[in-house]
């Protein structure tokens, strides 16, 4: 395996060249949103300068060019996740909307009084609240799979929770707060043995792990563009084609219809039936370019680099007195959540920012998870393939000064 040319990679990300005050920016907030390489920025700029028009409905040159670029982006996404067909790739405005779409459209048709939806303690709010809303509306019940102190799902408890009442399992592939990589292959297999479909929230998996929806055999999968080094305002919903075509549209409007009269409307098949109105065309083009950039880096090299950064940071942070690490799963990605004794997370985040270091503080949109650990939140440093050991050293030195100052 060829090692990463880290200097070349970092030079591709303009924002990493800037300074915060008199300090170089150290960006350790990648689980919230990743930075964008020059090819992504350039592709969006080029679209607006040379390609922009509305798509699918125009016969003129620009509309044809924009349509081709948008549908080529869908093809790129399908390849990225190994979907069987581009008909299984729905463009949304983010992973959150993708989950809401499934909860509202699939859930409305399949959930009723006494039915159950299974999620885990590790879930982001985006994979909790939509299910709560549809359960309340339909009289169904939300059940929660517990975790152990290391932040790993208790598979025995999951097996016990699966029953004839279970209508869908919706779980994170990777925890955004702890970095835990869940045993989704086993969980999908067990759910399918009972005829239960599975939705995977892959928002945190997509930047770090290769995804193969056919090998996983998941029924739905979602991720966001801005977490895979692409633009904000775009996400993807993968769904098995038969499931998508059986679902009612989530929104109504232009481009998702076959025929409209004042009496009734007929709808197109997936994916168009879920893409009402003008879609995020520029963002789709930018997302495709981000995927191509990741593919050029290579998942094997990317994973090896990030694993080294996480291991190094985990070892070094334990040199600091009063540090407590949360999330020590055997398999995890580059997320390091921690608290420092007698120091509020927000104080740590503010002090680190003075040294040009960006981390996340608070509950990270996983309030129930932190309640499980008896906390209101934590500090979270999260890494990408453009981060370095040298940045980790500066981070640890800054944390050590903060510890001494508050001690």
Domain ranges (residues) in the chain: 6-29+298-406, 41-295
Average pLDDT, rounded, for the chain? 97
CA atoms within 13 A on the CB side of 232: 4
Q: Each residue of 282-330: pLDDT tens digit?
A: 999 999 999 999 999 999 999 999 999 999 999 999 999 999 999 999 9
First-to-final CA distance of the chain: 45
Total length of the chain: 407
- CATH class as words, domain 41-295: alpha beta
Tokens of 71: 């549908």
Report whether pLDDT(404) > 80: yes
CA-angle at 53, arms to 49 and 58, nearest 5°: 150
- Which residue bears the tokens 């170089």? 24
- For 355-382, the pLDDT digits (tens) are 999 999 999 999 999 999 999 999 999 9
Q: Point out which residues pair with 360 in neighbouring strands.
A: 380
What CA–CA distance (Å, rounded) separates 98 from 106?
Answer: 11
Q: CA-CA distance, 68 to 72, in Å (whole number)?
A: 6
Is CATH 2.170.8.10 what the domain over 6-29+298-406 is classified as, yes or no?
no
- pLDDT one-digit tens code per residue, 92-118: 999 999 999 999 999 999 999 999 999
**Catalytic member of 102, 172, 297, 365:** 365
Decide if 365 is catalytic: yes
Dump pLDDT digits (tens) for 235-285: 999 999 999 999 999 999 999 999 999 999 999 999 999 999 999 999 999
Over range 334-349, report the average pLDDT: 96
């Amino acid at each position: 395996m060829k090692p990463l040319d880290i200097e070349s990679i970092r030079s591709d990300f303009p924002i990493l060249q800037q300074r915060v005050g008199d300090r170089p920016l150290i960006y350790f907030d990648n689980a919230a949103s990743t930075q964008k390489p020059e090819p992504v920025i350039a592709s969006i700029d080029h679209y607006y300068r040379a390609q922009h028009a509305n798509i699918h409905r125009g016969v003129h040159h620009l509309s044809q060019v924009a349509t081709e670029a948008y549908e080529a982006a869908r093809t790129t996404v399908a390849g990225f996740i190994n979907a069987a067909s581009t008909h299984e790739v729905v463009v949304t405005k983010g992973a959150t909307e993708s989950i809401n779409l499934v909860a509202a459209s699939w859930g409305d048709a399949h959930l009723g009084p006494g039915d159950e939806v299974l999620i885990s303690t590790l879930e982001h709010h985006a994979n909790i609240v939509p299910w709560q809303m549809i359960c309340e509306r339909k009289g169904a019940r939300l059940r929660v799979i517990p975790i152990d102190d290391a932040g790993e799902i208790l598979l025995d408890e999951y097996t016990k929770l699966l029953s004839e009442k279970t209508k869908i399992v919706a779980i994170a592939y990777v925890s955004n707060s702890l970095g835990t990589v869940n045993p989704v292959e086993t969980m999908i297999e067990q759910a399918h043995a009972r005829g239960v479909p599975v939705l995977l929230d892959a928002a945190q998996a997509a930047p770090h792990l290769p995804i193969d929806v056919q090998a996983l055999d998941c029924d739905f999968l979602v991720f966001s563009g801005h977490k895979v080094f692409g633009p904000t305002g775009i996400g993807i919903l993968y769904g098995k084609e038969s499931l998508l075509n059986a679902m009612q549209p989530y929104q109504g409007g232009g481009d998702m219809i076959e025929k409209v009269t004042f009496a009734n409307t007929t709808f197109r098949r997936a994916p168009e039936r879920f893409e009402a109105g003008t879609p995020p065309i520029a963002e789709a083009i930018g997302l495709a370019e981000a995927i191509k950039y990741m593919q050029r880096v290579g998942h094997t090299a990317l994973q090896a680099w990030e694993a080294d950064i996480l291991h190094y940071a985990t070892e070094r942070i334990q040199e600091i007195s009063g540090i407590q690490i949360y999330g020590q799963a055997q398999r995890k990605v580059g997320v390091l959540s921690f608290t420092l004794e007698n120091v509020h997370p927000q104080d740590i985040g503010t002090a680190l920012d003075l040294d040009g270091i960006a981390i996340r503080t608070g509950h990270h949109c996983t309030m129930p998870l932190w309640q499980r650990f008896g906390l209101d939140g934590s500090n979270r440093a999260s890494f990408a393939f453009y981060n370095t050991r040298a940045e980790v050293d500066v981070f640890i030195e800054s944390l050590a000064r903060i510890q001494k100052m508050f001690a």
